[in-house]
Amino acid sequence: MLDPQQCRQARLARDARFDGRFFVAVTTTSIFCRPVCPAIPPQERHVRYFESAIAAARAGFRPCLRCRPDSAPDSPAWQGAQTTLTRAMRLIDEGALQRGSVVELCERLGIGERYLRQLFQRGFGVSPKAYALYRQCLFAKQLLHQTSLPVTDVAYASGFASLRRFNDAFKHQMALTPSDIRRSRGAGSQQARLTLKLAYRPPYRWERLRHFYARHLIEGLEWVEEHAFGRTLRWGTTTGHFTAIHDARHHRFEVTLELSDLGSLNAIVRQIRRLLDLDADTQTIESHLARCAPSLPLVAGLRLPGLWDVFEAGIRAILGQQVSIAAANRLIQQLVDRLGEPDEQDRRRFPTPATIAASDLAFLKLPASRRETLRCLARATLAGDIADKPSAWTRLKGIGPWTADVAAFRGNSHPDIWLGSDLGVRRALAQLESPLDPALASPWRSYLTLQLWNGIL
| HSE, side-chain direction, 13 A CA sphere, residue 175 | 0
Distance CA 393, CA 374 (A): 12
Q: Is 33 a catalytic residue?
A: yes
The answer to whether the beta carbons of residues 350 and 316 sit under 8 Å apart is no
What is residue 19's DSSP assignment?
Answer: B
Q: How far is Cα 197 from Cα 177, in angstroms, rounded to an integer?
A: 22
- Three-state SS at 219: strand
**Degrees to nearest 5, angle at CA 190 with 185 and 191:** 90
- Of 19, 277, 309, 422, the catalytic one is 422
**What letter would DSSP give residue 47?**
E
Q: Where are the beta strands (DSSP E) in 200-251?
A: 222-225, 228-235, 238-247
Q: Which helix (H) or strand (E) holds 157?
A: helix 151-157
Could you tell me how far CA 52 lies from the centroid of its own chain? 25
Question: SS3 for 100?
Answer: coil
Interior CA angle at 260 toward 254 and 264, to 5°?
A: 70
Q: What angle do CA 278, 283, 287 make, to 5 degrees?
A: 140
CA distances from 26 to 54, 67, 260 (A): 15, 14, 63
In angstroms, the CA 400 to CA 402 distance is 6
360 is a catalytic site residue: no
Catalytic entry in 7, 19, 33, 376:
33
Listed as own residue / partner, the contacts of 220-229 with beta carbons closer than 8 Å and 24 or more positions apart are 220/336, 220/337, 220/340, 220/346, 220/347, 220/348, 221/336, 221/340, 221/347, 221/348, 221/349, 221/350, 229/276
HSE of 203 in the Cβ direction (CA atoms, 13 Å)?
14
Active-site annotation, residues = 33, 422
